């Protein structure tokens, strides 16, 4: 694995546990170069889990895409890569628990928003503005007002 801090490829696994039956393994890793600790999840989304987009198109559930969306929302916020991993893991695990074959992209968005809301409010509003595509300023203000 590539260290998120120094990009070194040498690491050791310090902890391993199953996320869920058939849903991958969560590994705690330590970079051998800089000592940074991070979490990876390897494997294995059941192939049948499809995301149904607004357009009705279906695509494979993609953990990396989920991670990018969350990481973008957290850009320059006091949210560590570990926090991002944890959010990805929790959202992915809850989706795998609750859905067998298909899940609406709006449902994924809703769960990410809920998760970010408890993590960082700026990240939450950023994510919400992308996901909900606020129609106007009032809608945006209403969303922020509800945070208080």
**Is there binding between residue 5 and Zn ion (CB under 5 A)?**
yes
Print the binding letters for residues 93-132 with Zn ion: x by CB under 5 A, - otherwise: ----------------------------------------
- Non-local CB neighbours of 79 within 8 Å, separated by 6+ positions: 119, 120, 123
- Is 140 in a helix, a strand, or coil? helix
**Is there binding between residue 37 and Zn ion (CB under 5 A)?**
no
**Is there binding between residue 33 and Zn ion (CB under 5 A)?**
yes
Among 9, 13, 14, 34, binds Zn ion (CB under 5 A): 34
- Copy the structure tokens of residue 87: 């959010």
Q: For the sheet containing 102-104, what is the strand order?
A: 58-60, 50-52, 102-104
Beta-strand pair 50-52/102-104: parallel
Binding-site size for Zn ion (CB under 5 A) equals: 8
**Is there binding between residue 14 and Zn ion (CB under 5 A)?**
no
Using left for φ > 0, alpha for ψ between -120 and 50, and beta otherwise, residue 22 falls in left
Part of the chain binding Zn ion (CB under 5 A), chosen from 7-15, 109-117, 122-130, 137-145? 7-15
Using left for φ > 0, alpha for ψ between -120 and 50, and beta otherwise, residue 56 falls in left
Q: How far is the CB of 6 from Zn ion (least distance, A)?
A: 3
Part of the chain binding Zn ion (CB under 5 A), chosen from 19-27, 32-40, 63-71, 107-115? 32-40
Question: Applying CB under 5 A, which residues contact Zn ion?
Answer: 3, 5-6, 8, 31, 33-34, 36
């Amino acid at each position: 694995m590539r260290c998120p801090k120094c990009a070194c490829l040498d690491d050791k696994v310090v902890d391993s546990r199953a996320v869920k039956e058939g849903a991958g393994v969560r590994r705690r890793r330590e970079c051998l170069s800089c000592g940074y600790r991070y979490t990876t999840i390897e494997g294995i989304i059941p192939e049948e889990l499809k995301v149904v987009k607004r357009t009705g198109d279906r695509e494979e559930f993609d953990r990396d895409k989920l991670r990018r969306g969350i990481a973008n929302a957290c850009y320059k916020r006091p949210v560590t890569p570990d926090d991002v991993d944890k959010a990805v893991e929790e959202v992915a695990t809850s989706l795998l628990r609750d859905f067998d074959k298909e899940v609406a992209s709006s449902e994924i968005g809703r769960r990410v928003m809920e998760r970010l809301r408890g993590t960082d409010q700026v990240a939450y509003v950023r994510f919400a503005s992308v996901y909900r595509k606020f129609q106007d300023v009032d809608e945006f203000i209403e969303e922020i007002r509800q945070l208080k």
